[in-house]
Amino acid sequence: MKRIKTIAIIPARSGSKGLKRKNIQLLGSKPLVAWTIEAALMCPQIDRVVVSTDSQEFAEISRQWGADVPFLRPAHLSNDSAKVEDAMLHAIEWLEENEGSTYEIVVLLQTTDVFRNATIVSDVVSALVDDPNLDTAFAAKPDYKNYWKDEAGKSVRLSNHNYVPRQARVPLYREDTGVALATRTSVVRTGQRVGGRAKIISHENPGDFIDIHTELDLWLANVLIRERNIIPNGAN
């Protein structure tokens, strides 16, 4: 079977506001970015792990943990309004233009969604390898709550489980593309991360309620590791 060339791209800009130098803050005994690099390196289908950062310091730390950092991301793609999709596109275009390297599948992993289970990265990649008709596969958490929105001052239901017991409810899914997403390079070229033909890969982890953007988030994550032995990447 022909191997489908796959690259993991990990965005890690230096200018975070809610938690300064977020991507290299210590979580457990490692900088935050290291956990996500390790998640990518654990996946046998991934051929290369690239960190996209604007910081030489972040680049050096990322290399120490096993990632490639062949470029520094330009400033206009590293400010507060920069989109992850633009960083993904910049990475694949830079590698093509400067190295002649091309990949068919792009895996997005974000440093702040650190509590992944041991198989979720491989699961999203395998979904695309197994089904050539799929554009994208991504992690999503099942949710059993009722949801509403405000629409022109009126409260409107988005979902209704009729308050039956949880085990009888059909779940909605919270999109967790930062936990793990695999998408065709052709989708990234359109400026998107999720294509029209997508597959949800259900995931659950005891720490998956944490998305690290503040000091409180980081403290909670460290408490889970230190006091509950809940370790990112299913290593507990």
CATH number, residue 29: 3.90.550.10
Within-domain flag for 125: yes
Within-domain flag for 225: yes
Within-domain flag for 62: yes
Per-residue pLDDT, averaged over 3-27, amounts to: 93
pLDDT digits (tens, 9 = 90+) for 130-152: 999 999 999 999 999 888 999 99
Within-domain flag for 220: yes
Within-domain flag for 42: yes
Within-domain flag for 115: yes
Within-domain flag for 53: yes
SS3 49: strand
d(CA 11, CA 166): 36
Domain span at 86: 6-139+175-234
d(CA 219, CA 144): 27
Range with lowest mean pLDDT among 5-9, 17-21, 53-57: 17-21
Per-residue pLDDT, averaged over 4-8, amounts to: 97
Within-domain flag for 100: yes
d(CA 162, CA 157): 11
pTM of the model: 0.93
Closest by CA to 74, choosing from 52, 58, 59, is 52
d(CA 199, CA 127): 8
β-strands 172-175, 136-143 pairing: antiparallel
Total domain count, the chain: 1
* Residue 154 burial (CB count, 10 A): 7
Contact 146, 47 (CB under 8 A): no
